[in-house]
């Protein structure tokens, strides 16, 4: 007996995250309106079938306060009759991409992660189709007794689906379609059979026609000559055409010969005239070439001489300047040396420095004495004692001695002032001598730099003078060469009027080239005349040969015409033979299928007969009627058994037209639709228990829309049911009624 064990939801309906454990027996799902009781039922259905409740949009089924991208899923664990626990987890994509993710785990089997395969496997485990799961297990709110009060036609469809009779109808329709298709196939095979018989008759006719054409072909082939003979005849015919072409070429060659002969005569006349002028032109050309060469050599030498002269002038100025600068520097140094020599500066400087040291030492000594006298004066001026005079021995006051020391201080100050003046004078003399010596040293450095510049400029001056002299010599040599060349006037013209000279020189070159060109043209004219004459003689011989062959062309033309007609006949017969042979092969292949077509035709006729008999079995008056009768009898027994478990005071029956009847003890049968609402609810529960005898039953608000008395009847039936199913099977009731809650074995309270 299959039953639910645990349900877990995440971000589904009003539940952010909840889980519930289920037990066997009569289990209640209790809570006020809006607490998510129906969502729990639909979560069970969604987990098993993968379908949304009432085809509602998935966005309305996801928790409205769920975080974007957060997981929204239903996870169900249920146990099979053998105790095997199966886990199915279906996830809704919170990103609204219309994708569900699923995972089905069965012990001993690999996990399934595709929606269709998971739904098919669950249906196989429960022994029914995916649609039948919802029909057998779940009773929605307000739909508990719908099948009792529905129309007979709708109830027939309901029971046909319940007993699987729709399969029989589908099989019947499929077989009908198969018979129709098979009859079409049989008609097609009959046409093929007739067509193949006609092909066989044509095949025999074509085979006879091929034998006849083969005999005709042999007769035509005997009248044909060999390929070599045909080739020779065609060559004879081609000779006539060749003769016409060669005659045209011969006439053209004669015209070319006459033309080249005239051109040769003109070229010879021009050559004789040019040869007379050739000698004079060559002499003039040689003179102009020599003058151009001498002028070209003279110009760089003249430019070098001019550049050397300009450079020498600049260098000479620099040389004179450096020479004058050196003389001025030496003169200034001589004057400074005389001043230094007059003052005997170096020895006097040493004496003055020694005197300076001595005066500084005396000044420091006097300063020390003055400081000492000042200290003594300060001590004596404040004392009133008398001491003997060191000169006369008379006792005198300390104050008198202090006055004496004061005079000595003044005397020392005067000496120090005199020494300061002497020291200042000595220092001035030392500074003057030092300045004079520094000036001497600086002037010596100036003289050294001036001597170095003078040396370099003298060397440059000497080299520039030498370069000027050498370029002058080269220039004189060039002038001598020009004067001795005999073309001095032409050289002067080239130097003074280079453009005019070059124009005359190019004119001479052109005239000399014209002579060479005339000579080449004469040689070319001789060659063309010789070639034209040779071509004329060759074509003349060819004309003679072709005229001898062309005499046989008429005979060859008649023979070729006869052969062409015979060849066309042969090719026509061969083409007919090829067409017939191709047709014969196709017909042979087609005829080979005749036995198979006959066999298929017989087989399809036998199959049509068998399928028609089988279809009669699945007609609604055949197997489906018997199956429905058997199913209704069995269902009636199971419903009455369930009614007895519920303590119902009536029994039920279902006739062949699927009308549901109820009969109370001692009363006549009446349609079940006339029962009270409470009794119809009890009957609906009995039907639910009978239909899902191997699976749990889930009823959503069975007391909805019932009056007080009907609710009491249903509550009493549920109390009886609880004692009957406890520990054996699972019945889940969704309710917010306290009376119903009191009769439940276990309660899942959603109000918490």
Residue environment code for 561-572, b if the CB has 16+ CB neighbours within 10 A, otherwise e: eebeebbebbee
How far apart CA 643 and CA 450 sit, in angstroms, is 146
Q: Which two tokens stand for residue 370?
A: 């003055």
Q: Is the pLDDT of residue 10 over 70?
A: yes
Q: Phi/psi zone of residue 169: left (φ > 0), alpha (ψ -120 to 50 degrees), beta?
A: alpha
Class assignment of domain 336-478?
mainly alpha
- Which of 130-144, 360-374, 387-401 has the weakest average pLDDT? 387-401
CB 230 within 8 A of CB 560: yes
| pLDDT at residue 55 greater than cutoff 60 | no
695-706 per-position pLDDT tens digit: 888 888 888 777
What pLDDT, in 10s, does the model give residues 264-281?
A: 788 777 667 666 666 666
Structure tokens belonging to residue 136:
């057998």
Place of tokens 């000042």: 374
Could you tell me the pLDDT band of residue 9, with boundaries at 50, 70 and 90? Answer: very high
pLDDT classification of 425: cutoffs 50, 70, 90: confident
The mean per-residue pLDDT over the stretch 331-339 comes to: 80
Q: Please provide residue 663's backbone torsions phi and psi, each rounded to the nearest 5 degrees.
A: -140, 120
Least confident of 167-176, 231-240, 739-748: 231-240
Residue of 429, 414, 288, 302 lying closest to 356 (CA atoms): 429
CA distances from 315 to 455, 459, 461, 487 (A): 13, 10, 6, 38
Between 287 and 346, name the one with better pLDDT.
287
Across 67-81, 144-158, 327-341, 626-640, least confident range: 144-158
CA dihedral 603, 606, 612, 613 (to 10 degrees): -130
- The pLDDT of residue 719 is above 90: no
Three-state secondary structure string covering 96-143: CCCCEEEEEECCCCCCECCHHHHHHHHHHHHCCCHHHHHHHHEECCCC
Please give the average per-residue pLDDT across 387-391, as a whole number.
Answer: 52
Q: Cβ contacts of residue 86 below 8 Å, gap of 6+?
A: 77, 78, 79, 80, 104, 105, 106, 122, 125
**More confident of the two residues 86 and 660:** 86
Alpha carbon distance 345, 553 (integer Å)? 143
Mean of the per-residue pLDDT values for the chain? 78
Give the start-to-end residue ranges of the domains of the chain. 3-142+621-749, 336-478
CA-based nearest residue to 377, from 406, 348, 414: 406
The CA distance from 128 to 137, in Å, is: 11
Rounded Cα distance, 29 and 22, in Å:
10
Query: What DSSP element (H or E) covers 300?
Result: helix 227-342
* pLDDT top residue among 641 and 624: 641
The beta-carbon contacts of 259-266 under 8 Å, at least 24 apart in sequence, are 259/532, 260/525, 260/528, 260/529, 260/531, 260/532, 261/529, 263/525, 263/528, 263/529, 264/522, 264/525, 264/526, 264/528, 264/529, 266/525
The tokens 């025999």 sit on which residue? 204
**CB atoms closer than 10 angstroms to residue 175:** 20
Backbone angles phi, psi at 49, to 5 degrees: -105, -20
Q: What integer pLDDT is reported at residue 417 of this predicted model?
A: 77
pLDDT tens digits, residue range 209-244? 888 888 887 877 776 766 776 676 666 666 666 767
CA 742 to chain centre: 71
- Quick count: other Cβ atoms within 10 Å of Cβ 92? 23
Segment 441-446 mean pLDDT: 83
- CA 467, 470, 472, 478 dihedral sign is negative
Helix (H, G, I), strand (E, B) or coil at 397: strand
Residue 393 has pLDDT above 70, yes or no: no
Share of the chain above pLDDT 90, in %: 7
pLDDT of residue 180: 84
Task: Quote the CA–CA distance of 299 and 293 in Å, as a whole number.
Answer: 10
Provide mean pLDDT across the span 544-551. Answer: 66
Lowest mean pLDDT, pick from 92-96, 182-186, 225-229, 521-525: 92-96
Q: Choose between 265 and 549: higher pLDDT.
A: 265
- Residues 665-683: tens digit of each pLDDT: 888 888 888 888 888 888 8
Q: What are the Cα distances from residue 259, in Å, to 265, 471, 523, 749?
A: 10, 65, 15, 130
Q: What is the pLDDT of residue 391?
A: 45
pLDDT of 64 > 50? The answer is: yes
Per-residue model confidence as pLDDT tens digits over 112-122: 999 889 988 99
Q: For residue 134, count other CB atoms closer than 10 A to its CB.
A: 15
pLDDT class of 44 with cuts at 50, 70, 90: very high
Q: What is the DSSP letter of 748?
A: E
> In this structure, what DSSP letter does residue 62 have?
B
Longest CA span, the chain: 199
Highest mean pLDDT (candidates 50-59, 371-380, 448-457, 551-560): 448-457
For the 3-142+621-749 domain, the top CATH level (class) is alpha beta
Q: Work out the pLDDT band at 528, boundaries 50, 70, 90.
A: confident
H helices of 550-673, in order, are: 553-592, 594-617, 623-645
Phi, psi (rounded to 5 degrees) for 7: -125, 135
Which is more confident, 566 or 730?
730
The per-residue pLDDT for 647 is 79
Tens digit of each residue's pLDDT (9 = 90 or more) over 354-375: 776 777 777 787 777 767 666 6
């Amino acid at each position: 007996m299959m039953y639910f064990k645990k349900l877990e939801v995440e971000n589904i309906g009003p539940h952010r995250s909840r889980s519930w454990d289920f037990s066997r027996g009569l289990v209640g799902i209790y809570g006020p309106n809006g607490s998510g009781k129906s969502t729990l039922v639909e979560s069970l259905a969604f987990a098993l079938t993968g379908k949304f409740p009432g085809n509602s949009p998935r966005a309305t089924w996801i928790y409205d306060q769920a975080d974007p991208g957060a997981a929204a899923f239903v996870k169900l664990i249920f146990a099979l009759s053998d105790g095997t626990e199966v886990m199915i987890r279906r996830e809704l994509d919170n990103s609204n991409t219309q994708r569900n993710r699923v995972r089905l785990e069965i012990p001993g089997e690999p996990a399934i992660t595709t929606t269709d395969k998971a739904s098919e496997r669950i249906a196989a485990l429960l022994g029914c189709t995916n649609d039948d799961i919802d029909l057998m297990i779940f009773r929605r709110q307000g739909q508990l007794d719908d099948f009792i009060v529905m129309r007979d036609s709708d109830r027939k469809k309901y029971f046909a689906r319940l007993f699987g009779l729709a399969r029989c109808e589908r099989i019947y329709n499929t077989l009908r379609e198969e018979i129709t298709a098979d009859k079409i196939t049989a008609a097609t095979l009959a046409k093929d059979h007739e067509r193949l018989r006609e092909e066989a008759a044509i095949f025999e006719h074509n085979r006879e026609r091929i034998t006849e054409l083969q005999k005709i072909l042999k007769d035509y082939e005997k009248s044909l000559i060999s390929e070599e003979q045909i080739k020779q005849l065609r060559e004879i015919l081609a000779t006539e055409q060749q003769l016409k072409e060669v005659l045209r070429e011969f006439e053209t060659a004669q015209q070319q010969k006459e033309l080249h002969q005239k051109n040769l005569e003109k070229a010879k006349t021009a050559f004789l005239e040019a040869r007379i002028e050739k000698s004079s032109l060559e002499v003039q050309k040689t003179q102009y070439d020599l003058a151009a060469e001498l002028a070209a050599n003279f110009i760089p030498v003249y430019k070098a001489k001019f550049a050397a002269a300009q450079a020498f002038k600049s260098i000479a100025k620099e040389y004179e300047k450096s020479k004058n600068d050196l003389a001025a520097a030496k003169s200034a140094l001589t004057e400074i040396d005389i001043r230094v020599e007059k003052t005997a500066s170096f020895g006097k400087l040493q004496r003055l420095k020694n005197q300076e040291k001595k005066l500084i030492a005396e000044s420091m000594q006097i300063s020390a004495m003055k400081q000492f006298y000042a200290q003594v004066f300060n001590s004596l001026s404040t004392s009133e004692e008398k001491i003997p005079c060191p000169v006369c021995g008379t006792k005198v006051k300390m104050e008198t001695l202090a006055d004496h020391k004061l005079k000595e201080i003044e005397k020392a100050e005067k000496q120090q002032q005199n020494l300061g003046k002497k020291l200042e004078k000595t220092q001035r003399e030392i500074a003057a001598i030092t300045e004079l010596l520094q000036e001497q040293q600086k002037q010596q450095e100036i003289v050294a730099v001036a001597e170095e510049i003078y040396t370099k400029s003298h060397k440059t001056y000497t080299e520039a003078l030498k370069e000027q002299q050498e370029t002058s010599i080269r220039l004189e040599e060039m002038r001598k060469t020009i004067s001795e060349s005999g073309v001095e006037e032409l050289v002067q013209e080239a130097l003074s009027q280079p453009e005019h000279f070059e124009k005359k020189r190019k004119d001479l070159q052109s005239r000399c080239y014209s002579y060479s060109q005339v000579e080449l043209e004469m040689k070319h004219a001789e060659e063309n005349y010789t070639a034209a004459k040779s071509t004329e003689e060759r074509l003349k011989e060819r004309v003679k040969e072709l005229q001898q062959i062309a005499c046989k062309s008429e005979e060859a033309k008649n023979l070729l015409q006869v052969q062409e007609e015979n060849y066309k006949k042969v090719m026509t017969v061969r083409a007919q033979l090829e067409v017939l042979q191709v047709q014969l092969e196709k017909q042979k292949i087609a005829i080979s299928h005749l036995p198979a077509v006959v066999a298929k035709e017989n087989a399809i006729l036998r199959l049509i007969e068998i399928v028609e008999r089988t279809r009669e079995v699945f007609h609604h008056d055949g197997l489906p009627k018997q199956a429905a009768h058997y199913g209704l009898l069995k269902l009636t027994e199971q419903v009455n058994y369930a009614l007895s478990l519920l303590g119902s005071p009536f029994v039920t029956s279902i006739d062949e037209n699927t009308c549901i009847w109820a009969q109370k003890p001692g009363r006549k049968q009446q349609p079940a639709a006339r029962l009270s609402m409470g009794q119809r609810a009890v009957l609906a529960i009995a039907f639910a228990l009978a239909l899902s005898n191997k699976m749990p039953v889930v009823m959503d608000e069975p007391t909805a829309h019932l009056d007080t008395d009907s609710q009491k009847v249903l509550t009493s039936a549920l109390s009886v049911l609880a004692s009957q199913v406890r520990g054996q099977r699972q019945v889940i009731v969704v309710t917010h009624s306290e009376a119903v809650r009191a009769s439940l074995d276990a309660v899942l309270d959603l109000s918490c």
